[in-house]
């Protein structure tokens, strides 16, 4: 029985060397792609995270599981559906979910032998991890305001749910951020599993490149911002429904992007 290493990545477009991008540096993914099969006509099931992940992991269309938003759990509509890791679990595998596999608010514990929240030192969803003083100050002020407003849930969720700025360039090692530390832990888990007398399904779900764009300085230093090619289609596609260009709030939810113009208004200032 083969062992399975499953690596879902959040908000990653196919801007990779393996897909012909000549600018982005992705040597490890390219090497992995060179050892396997690269799908050139694989498409995202939905434009938002929860239905897309639920669809991928159940093998059913979002319309079939009736999940179209970030709040609905697919188990509400199909409580007995068998997910990909759950299938392996039912067939003798030890299934471990590390990081973001299903959506933030739905780890689907029934699918796993060991879930993210049960792995020492790892919160389930460290969405907004900051290291620099300016971002930590913004976070702390927001937390104080939330608590003053009676939002006690912040104590349960932790500081990683509070957004500061949309970017951070910290002079730090990989493991200072969650994805780096998670990789180190995943390697340790693999070493433990290889000596076990049981096949395994290990999922290592990465949060980046989802916002906020926080990464060690050495990765920012790999690129000259003046040489980064910008998208040629910097306009709203013809025939786009009006509600699609006025409801986007992801980037504007960060402190340094609250005042960004809407699509269809004036262009963004590229020097911000």
Q: In 119-140, which positions are buried (b, 16+ CB within 10 angstroms) versus exposed (e)?
A: beebbbbbbbbbebeebeebbe
Closest CA to 59 of 24, 39, 83: 83
* SS3 label, residue 203: strand
Structure tokens belonging to residue 19: 């897909």
Query: Catalytic site residue 246?
Result: no
Distance CA 127, CA 157 (A): 11
Closest C-alpha to 174, from 148, 137, 206, 202: 206
Whole-angstrom distance, CA of residue 106 vs CA of residue 67: 12
Of the candidates 111, 108, 94, the one whose C-alpha atom is nearest the C-alpha of residue 3 is 94
- Active site residue: 103, 210, 246, 257, which one? 103
Catalytic residue among 44, 49, 159, 257: 49
Burial-class residue 229 by CB neighbours within 10 Å (0-12, 13-18, 19+): exposed
Nearest to 23 by CA among 224, 272, 233, 269: 224
Partners of 204 in beta bridges: 98
Q: Which residues are catalytic?
A: 49, 103
């Amino acid at each position: 029985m083969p062992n399975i290493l499953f690596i879902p990545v959040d908000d990653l477009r196919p801007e990779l060397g393996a897909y012909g991008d000549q600018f982005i540096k992705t040597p490890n993914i390219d090497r992995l792609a060179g050892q396997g099969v690269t799908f050139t006509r694989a498409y995202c099931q939905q434009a938002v995270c929860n239905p897309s992940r639920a669809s991928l992991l159940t093998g059913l269309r979002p319309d079939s599981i009736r999940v179209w938003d970030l709040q609905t759990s697919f188990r509400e509509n199909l409580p007995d559906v068998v997910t990909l890791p759950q299938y392996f679990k039912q067939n003798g595998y030890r299934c471990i979910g590390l990081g973001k596999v299903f959506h933030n608010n739905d780890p689907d514990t029934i699918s796993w032998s060991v879930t993210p929240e049960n792995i020492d030192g790892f919160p389930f969803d460290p969405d907004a991890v900051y290291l620099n003083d300016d971002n930590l100050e913004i976070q702390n002020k927001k937390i104080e305001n939330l608590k003053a407003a009676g939002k006690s849930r912040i104590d349960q969720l932790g500081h990683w749910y509070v957004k500061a700025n949309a970017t951070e360039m910290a002079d730090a090692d990989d493991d200072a951020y969650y994805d780096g530390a998670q990789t180190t832990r995943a390697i340790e888990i693999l070493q433990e599993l290889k000596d076990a007398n049981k096949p395994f399904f290990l999922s290592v779900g990465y949060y980046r490149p989802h916002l906020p764009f926080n990464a060690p300085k050495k990765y920012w230093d790999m690129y000259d911002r003046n040489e980064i090619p910008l998208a040629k289609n910097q306009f709203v596609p013809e025939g786009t429904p009006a509600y699609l260009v006025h409801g986007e709030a992801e980037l504007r939810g960060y402190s340094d992007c609250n005042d960004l113009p809407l699509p269809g208004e004036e262009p963004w200032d590229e020097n911000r």
